[in-house]
Structure 1
Amino acid sequence: MKHKVKFLIITLIAFCGIAIGQERLIQKGNEKFESYSFSPAIDIYKKVLEKGYVSADLLQKLGNSYYYNADYKEAAGIYKQLVSDYTSDVTAEDYFKYAQALKSIGEYDTSKSIMNKFIEETKKDGRASAFTEDRDFMSEIEENSGRYTLGSFEYNSPYSEFAPSFFREGLIFSSDRDTGNFARYRHTWNAKDFLDLYEVNADSSSIENVKKLGENVNTRYHESTSVVTKDGKTMYFTRNNSEKRKTVKDNKGIVRLKILRAQMNEEGIWGEIEELPFNSDSYSVANPALSPDEKTLFFASDMPGTLGASDLFMVSINQDGTFGTPVNLGSNINTEARETFPFVTSEEILYFSSDGHPGLGGLDVFATKILRQDFSGKVLNVGDPVNGQSDDFTFIFNEELRTGYFASNREEGLGYDDIYSFTETKPLTFDCLQKVTGTVRDKISNEVLVGATVKVIDENNVELLSAITDSDGNYNLELDCNKGNFVRALMEGYVPFEEYIGVSDGKPKIIDFYLERDRITAGFGDDLAKLLQLSTIYFDFDKYNIRKDSEVEIEKVIAAMEKYPSLKLKVNAHTDSRGTEEYNLWLSQKRAESTVNYMIGKGISSSRLVSEGFGETKLLNECEDGVKCSAAQHDRNRRSEFIILE
């Protein structure tokens, strides 16, 4: 009995020792995981699994470690075990990463099924909303594919090369080639140490032309993702948070990233390096990019206010070199996942990498058109062959040459990350249709012009489209708000008029045209009333004072005489046949004189006006005395004329 008790105690002690050993091992793995050291975390978690210990938390952390280390095949296997064995412990984020991992290894149908589970778990998540919209994302990606022809980059090594940026006639890029240290954590905020920045003339094929930037830029720690101003004198780049040759950790033991600014001195050496004021020891700021006018800096960060693991931000660069307040680019760009590695082209197209927007797997490259610092435009996946099942990132593009570079960790590469060159054969199109509506009118009479033509003409004077005004003088057009256009109104007998609409945010615009008469179409003897499309000038029965409604019509004639100072008119008044001839002649003369006196009272010189009454002597129809006519037929004869004398 004593021997059995002794054996039981020894067994319990051994078991407890094993359990304590496993707990310590798991604790060590968790420490590595929390500090984003995923490769060591993977090694530790695998040892624990090999010893037979498994839990939902362990599988979640191991799956995430593989996921963030871009080993999507292993990640998918671990997530599958998690979902199968610990269904009640699976979070929405687990489903999302599992779906992304499956997509990255080409299992699209299963990925879609798992994504539906993610949507069921959290419909408020922006990523869920994106996938539940009535859009066929795979068809859209396929439509955008085939726009690029890939080429090689002569300076790739068996190690990592990524983050190309334009510099002079060549490039600056990041690599760990001098240390042989694989930089597998560069997509997280604790990018591995010993990445350095290198310069190369892209037109040369000799590896000897690859030169490491000076020691002011490169340190014993991590430097990557740079952008240089057009004059080649200022560079923004990413570096580990460090001070006095030692890394600085936050309260979680994480070495964060910061953006620094370097100035090139007269000797051509990078110096005068300074931190940007919005850097922090408690969050990361990385991956700088500049706007075309170099007045705005774009970057990635997980600072407070970030929607996901990392978001894209922008900050204004003041004329004196100081900075404004960083602004998040918003939920149309940023998701609850990772948005990073921004680049802005000369035509203000923002390219970036994300694993939150619908893609082909891992990090994909996306593009959106910036409209006056508005980021609400459609986000497009640039498609294959730039994007694939692996991580694709650090995309840069020269729109003038239609060439560029990006990095990827696809299997056929020479190293862990490789840089690829590309040529764009078909530009991306960003639908931005702006509705332009309005009315075309006579400038003087304010009457609508029916049948006027309104054209859209581009900046190269090429007519793009046109519309004809309807019975109310209205037109309706849709034009491309990504480009500047002229909107031109034309009508026979009128001087054409146009208005320029520059690149805009696409909001509807109303343009009303008021066309001026071409003075050549009006000459001696013409009736200005017809030219101005005046309504009948009415007088009360048996009266000759000007009525209020008639004042409006006469004011149009006055406006014409003010515009054309040499214009002289004869005001003719006519009546219908009702009443005696003598009375109608007298009444028409009084009405003509009353009209002239009204115009003189409004400032028109009497030397420019003549009046005459014709009574019923010049009827326009057969409605003479004794002929039965309708009121409308009689009305046709009751008219005023403004005959041009000069």
Structure 2
Amino acid sequence: MNTLVRNIFLLSFVVLTAGSTLAQKGDIRKANKEFDRFAYIDAREIYLKVVADGYESAEIYERLGDTYYFNSDYTNAAKWYDKLVTKFPDETDAEYYYRAAQSLKSLGRYEESNRLLDTYKAKGGEGLVIKKFEDDPNYLKSIVFKSREFQLAKVKVNSELSDFGPSFYMKDKVVYATAAGAGDGKVYNWTQQPFLDLYIADVDADGQLSNPTKLGGDINTEYHESSTTFSKDGMTVYFTRNNFLDGKKGRDKTKDFKTLRLNIYKATKTGENTWSNIVALPFNSKEYSIAHPALSLDEKRLYFSSDMPGTEGMSDLWYVDILGNDSYGEPVNLGPDINTEGKESFPFISDKNNLYFSTDGRSGLGGYDIFVTPLDKDGKPGEITNLGAPTNSAQDDFGFIINEENRVGYVSSNRSGEGSIADDIYLVKEMCTITIQGVVTDATSGDVIADAEVTLLDENNKLLNKTMSATDGTYNFTADCNKQYTVRGIKDGYNPYEKIIETPSATGVVDVPLPLQRVGPCPPDDLGCRLNLQPIYFDFDKSNIRKDAEIELAKILAALREYPEIIIHIESHTDSRGNDAYNMQLSERRAQSTLKWLVGKGIDPSRLTAKGYGESQLVNQCSNGVDCTAEEHQLNRRSMFIIKN
């Protein structure tokens, strides 16, 4: 793109071009159809109250962190993982250092994340995250162009003059601007080229353009027209034109020369190739330019480029809300997340709600470069990425549009370096696509699992896509090449499972099986099971409450405080060593000791009963006369908590 076009907002009769049209927490899972009278017992809330009472353990912090991490609440996940790795470093597995690092990275706390990755590596962590970290310790902040594998080829409708600014019209046509169509012999003095008109061309199966025809009706005039965006029904177009309507020129008040600024107009389709009812948008001005319209996906917002008052650089990206009946909201600047002290222009909103735009205000390959950022549901931009080569070059690259479903698009560029006459349109094809697929199974039985939630996350743990496994357990995602992803499987009754992968550099398929480990079913009346209670162990021939047992009892205490209607029965058991009658008495003392501990913490005795069962209900084979280890015997020295109401 030549100097004249780059300085669109400073000079008269100049036209720039533009194209047309991952998470909150996941959706709440459907509740079980069968009513569970104890479903209100929320383990997370119990754990939080246990911690508030001053009790802590590695297991509690792990589980608190996990409840947030697997719901993408990385702020709270980072909080509890930090307590885990700080207070219980020797008891913390490598995977939790990774999860802690990922949580911090998602919050932009890169230095802390890197320190945890060091520990993750030292504890035996491996995989892609370590490779990237070793190759570039500053990779999270490095300015690198994540080049996508595009192939470019000039379209066949390019002329000897300037051709640029494609936009999609319906599914099989493209509208673009060209200086080759003027037949009245007029030329623009600055470029010595004819004024620009809008043309429409057919798109064939390969994406090539053919059969160019001038856009009919009242759109094309003796001045410049360019930069279109069409409504999805094909009946409305917004386009850029010099300030000229109904034969009248709108010049600014510059003393030394008069300037026809750029304005945006709307037209409606009134025939097969006829556009009429030209309306100037109400926020146009003679004193500054407004150009390059782009519709949001819901067509309720119009993006554009302007140097109006409030612009941070030479030109910024703005938007207005479309209110209907030719009424619009006040222009809103997209702000410093997008705009720089340079020039931003050529907005395009893709079918996946990604905002592509060009700017010379960011680090790039030269001139205007094309960048992309995802927009959330409120239109807020995310991470901004340079498309890299070959889409960007050392010259000016602008007016990028793409259908992200079939990965075919177009871009304008003067990469041959011959000035304005070198503006050409290039067909863009993204050749490298990856299918991530797999089967969700039960890790023990190998049975397929249907309706498991499978999510795809990027290297920063940002949600990209989500699906449910099919009846045969299968799932699939479409992903980019040369990128790190996390595939995560979640299903009620199973522990979450996630796998970190790196996609290859060539189109292909990556299989990622998701074996989920079933969580043992909890009897509806077993409170300890519901709270993942570790057994309340006792020392041999002792009935006093050990310190490690207090941590577990604190969970029961918190549940009783939280749910005052609960009444529980305490069951205490011994191992088989010793006299049977003695063990019955010992277990009774242990049951009563457990009850007294809870009463001592303020629980009404009427809500508690306790009974010892001696060695009558062993959990393993270690009965009288069986040779067992100390650890196996200890499994039988336990207390259980049964909900009675």
Return the TM-score normalized by structure 2. Answer: 0.52
User: Given that residues 456 and 463 in structure 2 are in contact (C-alpha distance below 8 angstroms), is that contact kept between their aligned partners in structure 1?
Assistant: no
User: Given that residues 351 and 365 in structure 1 are in contact (C-alpha distance below 8 angstroms), is that contact kept between their aligned partners in structure 2?
Assistant: yes
1 CA distance for matches of 2:187 and 2:140? 38
User: Given that residues 571 and 612 in structure 1 are in contact (C-alpha distance below 8 angstroms), is that contact kept between their aligned partners in structure 2?
Assistant: yes
Task: Map Cα deviations across residues 66-123 of structure 1 (whole Å, 9 max, x no partner).
Answer: xx9xxxxxxxxxxxxxxxxxxxxxxxxxxxxxxxxxxxxxxxxxxxxxxxxxxxxxxx
1 CA distance for matches of 2:176 and 2:155? 11
**Residue in 2 that maps onto 1:309:** 314
User: Do the aligned partners of residues 185 and 382 (structure 1) sit closer, same or farther apart at CA in structure 2, a change above 3 Å counting?
Assistant: farther
2 CA distance for matches of 1:184 and 1:376? 42
Letter in 1 for 2:213: K
User: Given that residues 173 and 198 in structure 1 are in contact (C-alpha distance below 8 angstroms), is that contact kept between their aligned partners in structure 2?
Assistant: yes
**Residue in 1 that maps onto 2:425:** 419
2 CA distance for matches of 1:261 and 1:588? 85
User: Given that residues 288 and 298 in structure 1 are in contact (C-alpha distance below 8 angstroms), is that contact kept between their aligned partners in structure 2?
Assistant: yes
1 CA distance for matches of 2:162 and 2:451? 45
User: Given that residues 156 and 414 in structure 1 are in contact (C-alpha distance below 8 angstroms), is that contact kept between their aligned partners in structure 2?
Assistant: no
**Residue in 1 that maps onto 2:288:** 283
1 CA distance for matches of 2:174 and 2:307? 28
Offset at residue 203 of structure 1 (A) = 2.8
2 CA distance for matches of 1:201 and 1:550? 71
**Residue in 1 that maps onto 2:178:** 175
**Residue in 2 that maps onto 1:200:** 201
Offset at residue 165 of structure 1 (A) = 1.0
1 CA distance for matches of 2:375 and 2:8? 37
User: Given that residues 237 and 287 in structure 1 are in contact (C-alpha distance below 8 angstroms), is that contact kept between their aligned partners in structure 2?
Assistant: yes
2 CA distance for matches of 1:198 and 1:234? 16
1 CA distance for matches of 2:151 and 2:158? 18
Please state whether the residue corresponding to 2:338 is helix, strand or coil. coil
Structure 1 residue 144 corresponds to structure 2 residue 147: yes
Offset at residue 150 of structure 1 (A) = 2.2
Please state whether the residue corresponding to 2:200 is helix, strand or coil. strand
Structure 1 residue 383 corresponds to structure 2 residue 384: no
1 CA distance for matches of 2:8 and 2:613? 102
**Residue in 1 that maps onto 2:463:** 481
1 CA distance for matches of 2:13 and 2:226? 19
**Residue in 2 that maps onto 1:161:** 163
Q: How does 1:614-633 map to 2 (within 5 A)?
A: none
Letter in 1 for 2:11: Y
Gapped regions of structure 2 (runs ≥ 5): 1-6, 17-137, 435-448, 468-486, 499-517, 545-549, 619-633
**Residue in 1 that maps onto 2:67:** none
**Residue in 2 that maps onto 1:300:** 305
**Residue in 2 that maps onto 1:359:** 364
What is the RMSD of the two structures over their aligned residues, measured on CA atoms? Answer: 6.2
Please state whether the residue corresponding to 2:328 is helix, strand or coil. coil
1 CA distance for matches of 2:333 and 2:392? 25
Task: Map Cα deviations across residues 387-426 of structure 1 (whole Å, 9 max, x no partner).
Answer: 3343322221121222222222335799443222222224
User: Do the aligned partners of residues 479 and 594 (structure 1) sit closer, same or farther apart at CA in structure 2, a change above 3 Å counting?
Assistant: closer
Match among 302, 325, 332 for residue 327 of structure 1: 332
Q: How does 1:401-550 map to 2 (within 5 A)?
A: 401-409=406-414, 410-411=416-417, 415-426=421-432, 479-484=461-466, 495-496=493-494, 518-519=521-522, 532-533=533-534, 535=536
User: Do the aligned partners of residues 135 and 520 (structure 1) sit closer, same or farther apart at CA in structure 2, a change above 3 Å counting?
Assistant: closer
Return the TM-score normalized by structure 1. Answer: 0.52
2 CA distance for matches of 1:267 and 1:175? 21
User: Given that residues 459 and 484 in structure 1 are in contact (C-alpha distance below 8 angstroms), is that contact kept between their aligned partners in structure 2?
Assistant: no
1 CA distance for matches of 2:10 and 2:166? 27
Q: How does 1:211-290 map to 2 (within 5 A)?
A: 211-252=213-254, 253-265=258-270, 269-290=274-295
Task: Map Cα deviations across residues 416-461 of structure 1 (whole Å, 9 max, x no partner).
Answer: 4322222222479xxxxxxxxxxxxxxxxxxxxxxxxxxxx99997
**Residue in 1 that maps onto 2:11:** 36
Task: Map Cα deviations across residues 148-206 of structure 1 (whole Å, 9 max, x no partner).
Answer: 322232222222221111113111111222245566879xxxx9983221112133999
2 CA distance for matches of 1:412 and 1:529? 73
More contact order relative to length (CA 8 Å, sep ≥ 6):
2
Letter in 1 for 2:364: G
Offset at residue 528 of structure 1 (A) = 7.2
User: Do the aligned partners of residues 346 and 220 (structure 1) sit closer, same or farther apart at CA in structure 2, a change above 3 Å counting?
Assistant: same
1 CA distance for matches of 2:311 and 2:450? 40
Letter in 1 for 2:493: V
1 CA distance for matches of 2:252 and 2:401? 32
Letter in 1 for 2:407: R
**Residue in 2 that maps onto 1:24:** none
2 CA distance for matches of 1:284 and 1:170? 28
1 CA distance for matches of 2:433 and 2:569? 61
User: Do the aligned partners of residues 458 and 375 (structure 1) sit closer, same or farther apart at CA in structure 2, a change above 3 Å counting?
Assistant: farther
Offset at residue 380 of structure 1 (A) = 0.7
1 CA distance for matches of 2:243 and 2:558? 74
Offset at residue 353 of structure 1 (A) = 2.1
User: Given that residues 352 and 365 in structure 1 are in contact (C-alpha distance below 8 angstroms), is that contact kept between their aligned partners in structure 2?
Assistant: yes
2 CA distance for matches of 1:290 and 1:319? 14
1 CA distance for matches of 2:268 and 2:417? 38
User: Given that residues 258 and 275 in structure 1 are in contact (C-alpha distance below 8 angstroms), is that contact kept between their aligned partners in structure 2?
Assistant: yes
Task: Map Cα deviations across residues 456-478 of structure 1 (whole Å, 9 max, x no partner).
Answer: x9999768799xxxxxxxxxx95
Letter in 2 for 1:202: V
**Residue in 2 that maps onto 1:77:** none
Please state whether the residue corresponding to 1:294 is helix, strand or coil. coil
Identity %: 34
User: Given that residues 160 and 182 in structure 1 are in contact (C-alpha distance below 8 angstroms), is that contact kept between their aligned partners in structure 2?
Assistant: no
Offset at residue 209 of structure 1 (A) = 3.1
Offset at residue 587 of structure 1 (A) = 10
Letter in 2 for 1:393: F
User: Do the aligned partners of residues 522 and 218 (structure 1) sit closer, same or farther apart at CA in structure 2, a change above 3 Å counting?
Assistant: same
Offset at residue 241 of structure 1 (A) = 1.0
1 CA distance for matches of 2:488 and 2:394? 46
Q: Bigger radius of gyration, 1 or 2?
A: 1
Structure 1 or 2: more helix by fraction: 1
User: Given that residues 368 and 380 in structure 1 are in contact (C-alpha distance below 8 angstroms), is that contact kept between their aligned partners in structure 2?
Assistant: no
User: Given that residues 158 and 424 in structure 2 are in contact (C-alpha distance below 8 angstroms), is that contact kept between their aligned partners in structure 1?
Assistant: yes
Match among 345, 349, 352 for residue 354 of structure 2: 349
1 CA distance for matches of 2:8 and 2:640? 93
User: Given that residues 543 and 590 in structure 2 are in contact (C-alpha distance below 8 angstroms), is that contact kept between their aligned partners in structure 1?
Assistant: no
Structure 1 residue 394 corresponds to structure 2 residue 399: yes
Letter in 2 for 1:394: G
User: Do the aligned partners of residues 182 and 173 (structure 1) sit closer, same or farther apart at CA in structure 2, a change above 3 Å counting?
Assistant: farther
Please state whether the residue corresponding to 2:393 is helix, strand or coil. coil
Letter in 1 for 2:202: N
Letter in 2 for 1:228: F
User: Do the aligned partners of residues 479 and 185 (structure 1) sit closer, same or farther apart at CA in structure 2, a change above 3 Å counting?
Assistant: farther
Aligned length: 435
2 CA distance for matches of 1:210 and 1:498? 55
Letter in 2 for 1:280: S
1 CA distance for matches of 2:212 and 2:528? 83
User: Do the aligned partners of residues 601 and 333 (structure 1) sit closer, same or farther apart at CA in structure 2, a change above 3 Å counting?
Assistant: closer
